[in-house]
Structure 1
Amino acid sequence: MMEDNYKIIQNMNNEAANILENSVTNALLCKSSEKKSLECLSYTEKLEYLLEIRKNAATFIQVQYRFRRMKRSAKFNLMVLRVMKARKAAAKMIQKYIRGWLVRNDLKFIKGIDQKKFIVWRHSGKDVSLIGSFTTPPWEEEIKLKYSKSLGKFITTILYDRQIKAGTYCIKFIVDGAMVCNGDLAVSQDISGNYNNVIGVNDDAKKLSRSISVRSFMGMGAVDSELSKHIVTQDSQSPILLTRSLSGNLDSPRGFGVVEDKKSKSPIYLIMSGSMAAKSKKKSAPLTSQGSADAYFINEELQSFGVADGVGEWATYGLDASRFSKELIRYCEQVLIETLQSEWPSIEFCDLLEQVVWEAYRRIVSYGSSTLLLAICRDSFLYSLSLGDSSFIVLRPRDGCKALSAVYRSVEQQHSFNCPYQLANLPKQNKYQELIDKGFSTLIALLKRTSQNMNDSPFDGETEMIPLKSGDIIVAGTDGLFDNMYDQDIIKVAEQVLQSYDQAQQIADVLARLLVERAVQKGWDQSYKSPFARNAGKAGKKYIGGKLDDTTVVVAIALSP
């Protein structure tokens, strides 16, 4: 490179010398034309001519040198760009072919298998295996989990590889020699005090059944601290899933979830109250339950309550939207009484609630549809079944003070925005002509345009098991409450009531009434960014203000004997 630069400069000097000579000659010729000879020029004039010539030569050298350097630099930059483009193309090829091959090779052991058939460990560990009650003999065979580098998880396809009968099984993970439970799966304690994960296998090609979704939450106190010794979660904020208490022989897949003797005293009981208001036509109109499509029941003897939200849109097709929800609630309470007053059932309470709802649903005669929330308190736990957007929230006092925090919020089920899961009873095709003759032609036209399978099943509901502590406040309601009030709004009203009242029954009565009133007030506020408006925005719809609707609230205060 140095030699090249030297040659360039040498050539330029030669060119400059030629220019100098030509310039002097031209200058002399110019002077001679003016009849001046070289001898006539003074020393100063000769020097000026010389300096001008040197200046022109230097300028020429600079221009030519920079031009050639820029040209060489441009060629070099072009070469660099071509190399970078080639490297980028090579990187893409590596990503597409080589890395893709590595990933496919890493995951070939699960190729074509439904992910619902996996048992996964996603936490830390170098060597992971599991044992369970599904092997023969139970708890004897240790099954290794394979680590996938691309997924960063340990996985076993044992449910797919073996002929495992449908049922509920207990398993436990062995991580680096230590037996632990997986916080991502349901957990239960057996009669010996041991914690185990619980999985359900159904008949659909050995697929894991729907999650039991029985949860603990932050703020459980002693329960959390005890469980944390046995359960591994991804981080300290991860929820711990609990199943119903195990009893019986773990060798049997069905030997879990048997209810204790009905004569045993519950350490927690509920003081309950409810309030309901129909959608009012005027802002100043007094609140009344007349005309509401909602329904609810409270049974303190059974320690149970239920809330149903009848779908009011059926009224536009000539149906009484309230009849279905009222029948559903009435039959739920009736079946629950019949079941619990007979021989004590030998099934777990969440399964019991599913059977109660199924039997109540079978007895309904009226046409229509409704969401449902059904709950019962037993042995310091609240067992619930929710279908649709009728929800509940559990509030807990902080360290003995009257400030509250939300420790649990039930999950709303919706097929799409403002279309919740619901139980429905619709006319069969053999009833169409009879209903048309009675004036229900618009209803029949709707049914003919849509699917006959428009309703959800009681078994599609979310069953939950929530540990309760004395002082907990359970606020349950229809979407008329939760579409207009955020959880923090509910907490604020509850704290105000706690400051003014001491008796549990008074607190429940006043809080239920106030929440209904506040929800209705929010519903009339056309500039309020309500929870309903926020959810509408998430669904890509424009909506501002509260939502006018029937509103029902049930408040339950948990107390110790």
Structure 2
Amino acid sequence: MSLAITSATGFARLPPVSRRGTSTGFVSFALSVPSLVAPAHSSRTANVHSQRIPSLYAQPTCPLDRDTSSATVGLRSFHSTSHSWPSTPRFTYHVAASYSAKQDRFNADQNLYTQPVHDPSQSKIDRLRNCKEALNKRPRAQSGQDAFFFSQVGDTNTTAFGVADGVGGWMESGLDPADFSHGLCEYMACAARSWPHGFNTTSLHPKDLLQVAYDEVTDDGDIEGGGSTACLAVAEPDGNVEVANLGDSGFMHLGLNAVRHFTQPQTHAFNTPYQLSKTPQRMLVQMAVFGGASTLSDLPKESSVTHHKVRHGDVLVFATDGVWDNLSPQDALGIVSRHMVDLGAWVENDGTMEVGQDLAKLVQADSARKADGSSLQAKVAVAIAKEAKVTGLNTRRDGPFAKEVQKYYPGENWHGGKPDDIAAVVAVVLEDAPWRAKL
């Protein structure tokens, strides 16, 4: 999670006042860390609690416990990325997600989502609200304030997927941050599924998808308020992948034991990432009557957009800060490479790394049913989430977040991992066999 700032020096992650007027507008999940977190983190929270500040808009020092800090709204709790041949290569993206809520024990079998078989008939959606209401009839994934989604784009072979991380500080205002992040992912999934309905573009871009979903969340009376970061992609069958990132969730593009790209977080200040938000009307009235600093609110158009060209056997990893605050890019590369090699997806041949011949079988591409937990993408996603979970509870191993705290707040003496909700979405890229045979 993360903070919202009210001034150049403040760290209170406050609920953003919407800078928009009225607004318009598939699968999502949330996570949090298990009961293991309490004993592992108890020694550090004692000092943090002594730094609680008295007022909503007071300037905190270093809010190391963002769930318990009284610097509320917007606070992201520390706990709580052309050839002239007769035809072009075609790619499919095989997706799985693994997640864990901060207060829960990690369960690889239960906290797993794998890509369903595409049914083009499901793209016929008249209203996104109806689509979301249908999704709400299913149990929400036990991923805490983190959420994720996957969907085919309309009746095409294009796919969209990504993650969102709810801002924990809204809990101090009586709001569940998971409602915003899960709602955002549900609307992104529904909007992608119903494309081109509701869009005025000839192709879907992730920033536009995020805008439509944000408009729907803003208009949805069942979502009173909240805030979230987002990192999502639209992956085309020609191998072009466009990514939009807002905040400190992030994306990695890996290929044959190498990091091809890693997103840089968007932040206003330390632990204060860019974030979408919706401020409840009651809070707007209070601020109008009693005054006070305006709250942080960024817009989808401020997302950082990058473009990538994928290859056969590449791996795309989208994750919330519960992963990236505990695992460095080198850590993530090591986890992915180890499993890709051990399972035969990447193989060494005369000193060079190649894609294994059984990749289609490993991702269960030929199956008419939903991929299961034994698929390659599921095993890689579980491995990333599990390692982030274990590292977050390790009080001796300093992760990326601990190193940042030591850099900016050396007096805090912060060591170890950062218990938090975790969501990791993994997509393995598979090139169609007929094309590969021509090469």
TM-score (norm 1): 0.46
Match of 1:391 among 237, 245, 250: 250
Cα distance change on mapping 1:313 and 1:545 into 2, 3 Å:
same
Question: For 1:40-88, what per-residue CA distance to the aligned partner results, in whole angstroms no more than 9, with x for missing partners?
Answer: xxxxxxxxxxxxxxxxxxxxxxxxxxxxxxxxxxxxxxxxxxxxxxxxx
Gaps of 5+ in 1: 1-216, 224-263, 398-403, 433-443
- Residue of structure 2 equivalent to 1:495: 337
Whether the 8 Å CA contact 2:99–2:143 is kept in 1: the answer is no
Provide the C-alpha distance between the structure 2 equivalents of 1:556 and 1:496, rounded to a whole number of angstroms: 16
1:96-245 to 2 correspondence within 5 Å?
Answer: none
Secondary structure at 1:384 match in 2: strand
Cα distance change on mapping 1:338 and 1:499 into 2, 3 Å:
same
- Residue of structure 2 equivalent to 1:510: 379
> One-letter code of the match for 2:180?
F
Cα distance change on mapping 1:455 and 1:352 into 2, 3 Å:
closer
- Residue of structure 2 equivalent to 1:53: none
Provide the C-alpha distance between the structure 1 equivalents of 2:92 and 2:297, rounded to a whole number of angstroms: 34
Normalized per residue, which structure has more helix? 1
Provide the C-alpha distance between the structure 1 equivalents of 2:401 and 2:188, rounded to a whole number of angstroms: 29
Structure possessing the higher radius of gyration over alpha carbons: 1
- Residue of structure 2 equivalent to 1:422: 275
**2:124 counterpart of 1:271:** no
Per-residue deviation at 1:336? 2.2
- CA RMSD in angstroms comes to 3.3
TM-score (norm 2): 0.58
**2:428 counterpart of 1:557:** yes
Cα distance change on mapping 1:533 and 1:448 into 2, 3 Å:
farther
Count residues with an aligned counterpart. Answer: 285
Question: For 1:461-507, what per-residue CA distance to the aligned partner results, in whole angstroms no more than 9, with x for missing partners?
Answer: 11111111111101110000000011111111112211332412522
**2:304 counterpart of 1:304:** no
Secondary structure at 1:340 match in 2: coil
**2:266 counterpart of 1:407:** no
Higher relative contact order structure (alpha carbons within 8 Å, sequence separation ≥ 6): 2
- Residue of structure 2 equivalent to 1:548: 419
Provide the C-alpha distance between the structure 2 equivalents of 1:346 and 1:478, rounded to a whole number of angstroms: 30
Provide the C-alpha distance between the structure 1 equivalents of 2:89 and 2:292, rounded to a whole number of angstroms: 48
Whether the 8 Å CA contact 1:335–1:359 is kept in 2: the answer is no
Secondary structure at 1:528 match in 2: coil
Gaps of 5+ in 2: 1-80, 112-140, 345-361, 365-374, 433-439
- Residue of structure 2 equivalent to 1:335: 191
Match of 1:290 among 126, 142, 146: 142
Secondary structure at 1:331 match in 2: helix
1:344-493 to 2 correspondence within 5 Å?
Answer: 345-346=201-202, 349=205, 352-353=208-209, 355-365=211-221, 366=223, 367-378=225-236, 379-397=238-256, 404-428=257-281, 432=285, 450-493=292-335
Provide the C-alpha distance between the structure 2 equivalents of 1:283 and 1:474, rounded to a whole number of angstroms: 22
> One-letter code of the match for 1:270?
Y
> One-letter code of the match for 1:293?
Q
Whether the 8 Å CA contact 2:149–2:188 is kept in 1: the answer is no
Secondary structure at 2:255 match in 1: strand
Whether the 8 Å CA contact 1:267–1:380 is kept in 2: the answer is yes
Cα distance change on mapping 1:290 and 1:337 into 2, 3 Å:
closer
Whether the 8 Å CA contact 1:327–1:364 is kept in 2: the answer is no
Provide the C-alpha distance between the structure 2 equivalents of 1:445 and 1:286, rounded to a whole number of angstroms: 46
1:3-152 to 2 correspondence within 5 Å?
Answer: none
Provide the C-alpha distance between the structure 1 equivalents of 2:198 and 2:281, rounded to a whole number of angstroms: 34
Provide the C-alpha distance between the structure 1 equivalents of 2:327 and 2:200, rounded to a whole number of angstroms: 40
Cα distance change on mapping 1:529 and 1:560 into 2, 3 Å:
same
- Residue of structure 2 equivalent to 1:20: none
Deviates more, 1:490-499 or 1:321-330: 490-499
Per-residue deviation at 1:363? 3.6
Percent of pairs with identical residues: 27
Provide the C-alpha distance between the structure 2 equivalents of 1:340 and 1:500, rounded to a whole number of angstroms: 41
